[in-house]
Structure 1
């Protein structure tokens, strides 16, 4: 995941596997110590993991060379407010490194290409349907940051998903202005995105499920799942020391427990921007970095949603009222 290749990736294969496959096929064992294919979990006999995956998997989709996670649909329009990583969008794609927002009522930064979310019917494959993607705002980014060196404290932005969809075709394709006339149609059987509290703080020692879309679409055509333990600050520092000794540069990145948390779990390129959820399906954070060296514990670093929420509120409160009015409708449920 740390090898952040900013490439446009298209689906290389389609597997027609339905949500109900676990009832119609031979049960497969699930090894939660490795990165798993979504379809294998859906066909497996770990019903607790399967039930949790079904709660959250409709909230995680593709965005360019990485992933994005729908944080909430609790806004004035019921659209999908999503979070992804700045390095997935590409730092040079922003007009400025200073915090900015887009007035989606008059400005159209939207694109269809490489933007997908799971279909509303719960099928596991994304198929060839593209979903409109509208970057909404990002926060201050250091001038010296690059797509490979940006720290978790700055590596996130917010966007909007509406109901505009097209079939993958000639490149590029663009939606019209964001459509606010109907709530987002998405696979959300437990109404996770509409819950009173869509997110929570990570609890050290608990297990978390991580969902993303690797760039390796041959081995992970329908996304990947990891399941691991949230590390305590002491455990996180210890593993980073091990990584440093093993030559993994992730061990050289400072750890900030106020902003990020670490899950002992495997991850690969393309999962950045994917969601980390607790056992009730609340969003804890988004993946931004991961270790690569074998023979030592594999880790994934995630930015806390609590930090993202804090940055959103601080940025929003700094705006004049006229600007607040332009974006409040899209973020009202999480202010």
Structure 2
């Protein structure tokens, strides 16, 4: 499939128009190179799009073969509370499929390898610096779920990022226990992650951007941007039926309006876990799945942040007071 040159695609955001090209599944390898690269947008002429991308891109980074999105720094320590997809982590890596948290004051599941966020100076190049990444809470995962079949309603977990950093090099190499003495240093020029409301509800018809890091590091070393319209529940149900008729795997997964929203957009393998943002830079959800058949409607499935938050609060409320005290400091600002 021949890719169109991104610079020839008209990019005009919010109130104008955007011509989307070929689209595909964020978790199915493809060779399409027509999705905009972060640097192409930043070097373009659409100042509204440039401003929005700069507002949010510092809180999206790499996590293994996928992406992760810092939801908030509104906690007792000012550390990064991030969201990524269970299939990005690899669900077989959890020692239980039952919801669980890890006591970061005594348990050290932290990694450096493949964990990166943009430099605090705003450079688009991630460079060779790795940052400490601590899985924190995962929620119930169905017994039969695999990395490719897990449903959006279960395909997310929470983690913590602190200021421990190290150059890339021989591994294994692991951070110390999470450091809570200093707020996370992050490229966040408009303080999105400490705003009064870091997230919002996805609105049908709203145009949004999704930011993530494709596995195709050669062509997308600095990340990529998906752009599209949020479908209404009616439109989403209809498109799922069309996907089924077309023989696309996504057609076999019913649309779950309480947990997900669908975007008419294009993404690339590795962008799973990347954030979806509205025109105000508020986080709406994370990308997890999408269609891949050439003759099928092209969509991205995103887990709603509202679903993630309600799941987190339900889990928190189920804990003993002792256990609540262990996780409260890391999620306090979003409770």
TM exceeding 0.5: yes
Q: 2:282 corresponds to which residue? A: 282
SS at match of 2:238: helix
Query: What is the CA-CA distance between 1:28 and the residue it aligns to?
Result: 7.7
Q: Which runs of 5+ in 1 are unaligned?
A: 1-26
SS at match of 1:273: coil
SS at match of 1:36: coil
Q: Structure 1: which 4+ aligned runs deviate by more than 6 Å?
A: none
Query: What is the CA-CA distance between 1:215 and the residue it aligns to?
Result: 0.5
SS at match of 1:251: helix
Report the Cα distance in structure 1 between the residues aligned to 2:250 and 2:8, rounded to whole angstroms.
34
CA RMSD of aligned residues (A): 1.2
Report the Cα distance in structure 2 between the residues aligned to 1:232 and 1:166, rounded to whole angstroms.
44
Q: Deviations over 1:115-159 (max 9, x none)?
A: 000110001011110010000010111111111100011000000
Q: Deviations over 1:182-221 (max 9, x none)?
A: 1000110110000111011001001001001110111211
Q: 1:250 corresponds to which residue? A: 250
Q: Number of residue pairs matched?
A: 309
What is the TM-score with the length of structure 1 in the denominator?
Answer: 0.90
Q: Deviations over 1:4-39 (max 9, x none)?
A: xxxxxxxxxxxxxxxxxxxxxxx9865541421001
Report the Cα distance in structure 2 between the residues aligned to 1:240 and 1:48, rounded to whole angstroms.
32
Provide closer, same or farther for how the CA distance between residues 78 and 30 of structure 1 changes in structure 2, counting only shifts above 3 A. Answer: farther
Q: Deviations over 1:298-332 (max 9, x none)?
A: 21000001111001111111111111111110000
Q: How does 1:1-335 map to 2 (within 5 A)?
A: 30-31=10-11, 32=18, 33-34=20-21, 35-335=35-335
Query: What is the CA-CA distance between 1:252 and the residue it aligns to?
Result: 1.2
Q: Answer yes or no: is the 8 Å Cα contact 1:29–1:45 preserved in 2.
A: no
Q: Answer yes or no: is the 8 Å Cα contact 2:275–2:284 preserved in 1.
A: yes
Q: Answer yes or no: is the 8 Å Cα contact 2:248–2:296 preserved in 1.
A: no
Q: Answer yes or no: is the 8 Å Cα contact 2:109–2:134 preserved in 1.
A: yes
Q: Which runs of 5+ in 2 are unaligned?
A: 1-6, 12-17, 22-34
Query: What is the CA-CA distance between 1:246 and the residue it aligns to?
Result: 1.9
Moved more, 291-300 or 195-204: 291-300
Query: What is the CA-CA distance between 1:294 and the residue it aligns to?
Result: 2.1
